[in-house]
Amino acid sequence: MEWKNITDLNQVSEIKTMSGYSLIFKHSTRCSVSMMAKRRFEQDWDSIPAETPLYFLDLISHRAISAQIAETFQVSHESPQILLIKDGNCVLDASHSDISADEVAEAINN
């Protein structure tokens, strides 16, 4: 699996209009907790269906995009944070030690 970097506000709108599942990982490059959560997620992401688009946001470099994601999907901003999007709506939101690829896979497969 591979991350697709979010670097443009238009990508948030595109994700909102997609059908099916997609995932956004919001990451702070200055935070050791965020780095650990990302590493742990990547170790287990093989449990997520391969066709699921995985988006990565460096929120230090793209603060405005991070704010737009929170507004678009009606979630509180946190870091690190994952959002599982289904048909334009956030169906799972987790942060810090609650970030789990297995939980994402379970939500998709149910």
**Higher local confidence (pLDDT), 110 or 37:** 37
What whole-number distance in Å separates Cα of residue 66 and Cα of residue 46? Answer: 26
Distances from the Cα of 99 to the Cαs of 7, 18, 34, 44, 64, in angstroms? 22, 23, 10, 11, 23
What whole-number distance in Å separates Cα of residue 6 and Cα of residue 65? Answer: 8
pLDDT classification of 110: cutoffs 50, 70, 90: confident
User: Where along the chain do its domains lie?
Assistant: 3-109
Give yes or no for residue 81 having a pLDDT over 90.
yes
Which structure tokens are listed for 24? 């956004």
pLDDT classification of 55: cutoffs 50, 70, 90: very high
CATH architecture of 3-109: 3-Layer(aba) Sandwich (3.40)
Mean pLDDT of 53-67: 95
pLDDT classification of 41: cutoffs 50, 70, 90: very high
What whole-number distance in Å separates Cα of residue 13 and Cα of residue 88? Answer: 9
